[in-house]
Structure 1
Amino acid sequence: MTEFTPFTGLAGGLLIGLSSVLMLLGAGRIAGISGIFGGLLAPVRGDTAWRAMFIAGLVIGALAWRLFSDEPLPVDLQVSWPIMIVAGFLVGFGARLGGGCTSGHGVCGIGRLSRRSIVATLTFMGTAILTTFVMRHLI
């Protein structure tokens, strides 16, 4: 699907921004997925329940959307599963190397006017644009 949907995009962005503000103000935590998930891989006593609930909410939200939405799932993958798996590991490695992921830096960090997050997000975006250009037009 390539329909331009500014109102649903705006609503989704507002909900993501609101949830990150509520997480920061209510729990004093940054809603960066790699940090939250990483905390489950190296658990600290008393710090896992909220992380598990956050990740479960992501999964349940996606499943609920699938149950209640009439939109079909995208099934025409343009890359193979092995390439997607390697890419996923590279993204995870890059997120740990960069001290956070796009959600942590892009949504939460920029919202807090963190210079480090602004630079990280510009780096993520520039690298993604360059990689897409090379993969689609040069290779």
Structure 2
Amino acid sequence: MTLDTLHFTPSSALAGGIMIGLAAALYMLLNGRIAGISGMLGRLIDKASTDRASPLAFLVGLIAAPWLWRLVAPLPEVVVAASNPMLIAAGLLVGFGTRYGSGCTSGHGVCGISRGSGRSFAATATFMAFGFLTVFLLKHL
């Protein structure tokens, strides 16, 4: 995947960050739960879970948002330069890491850090370090 650095604007990044923070804060305020995507998916899959409506609505909103945005402005071009086996392996590793780390980047990085969770600071630092290492190994060695 490549980033379109020619059309990057700090204002759009700031607006996106504000919307993510607002959505996470509202989800916590209205549902009393962390807006961690892996936890929401887990509640949808878990047969014993009784709370399926709020995570389903949140996830549907995540999926619908780009389609709605297309009505206002064009979406940026996305180019994926990885093979299907590499994408499958990456997805499995992310799923394993999410389960092993008791949460994902949205749960730890957005919600946990904003609550001052030491565990989330450690988890996010680990996500970032291994992300940097992976890019370095795959792109430069």
- Counterparts of 1:20 and 1:94, CA distance in 2: 22
Is 1:95 aligned with 2:98? yes
Q: AA paired with 1:37?
A: L
User: Which 10-residue stretch deviates more, 59-68 or 11-20?
Assistant: 59-68
| Structure-1 residue corresponding to 2:10 | 6
| Structure-1 residue corresponding to 2:54 | 50
* Runs (5+) with no aligned partner, structure 1: none
How far the C-alpha of 1:38 sits from its partner, in A, is: 1.0
Residues 55 and 43 (structure 1), Cα distance of their counterparts in 2 relative to 1, 3 Å cut = farther
Q: AA paired with 2:125?
A: L
| Structure-2 residue corresponding to 1:116 | 119
- Counterparts of 1:124 and 1:45, CA distance in 2: 28
Identity of aligned residues (%): 50
| Structure-2 residue corresponding to 1:133 | 136
Aligned length: 137
| Structure-2 residue corresponding to 1:24 | 28
* Runs (5+) with no aligned partner, structure 2: none
- Counterparts of 1:43 and 1:87, CA distance in 2: 27
Alignment deviations for residues 50-85 of structure 1 (CA, whole Å, 9 cap, x no partner): 1111111111112212343224432x3211122112
| Structure-1 residue corresponding to 2:89 | 86
Question: 8 Å contact 2:43–2:49 — kept in the other structure?
Answer: no
- Counterparts of 1:101 and 1:14, CA distance in 2: 19
What TM-score do you get using the length of structure 1 for normalisation?
0.91
RMSD: 1.4
Secondary structure of the residue that 1:134 maps to in structure 2?
Answer: helix
Secondary structure of the residue that 2:70 maps to in structure 1?
Answer: helix
- Counterparts of 2:88 and 2:121, CA distance in 1: 28
User: Which 10-residue stretch deviates more, 84-93 or 99-108?
Assistant: 84-93
How far the C-alpha of 1:134 sits from its partner, in A, is: 0.8
Residues 27 and 129 (structure 1), Cα distance of their counterparts in 2 relative to 1, 3 Å cut = same
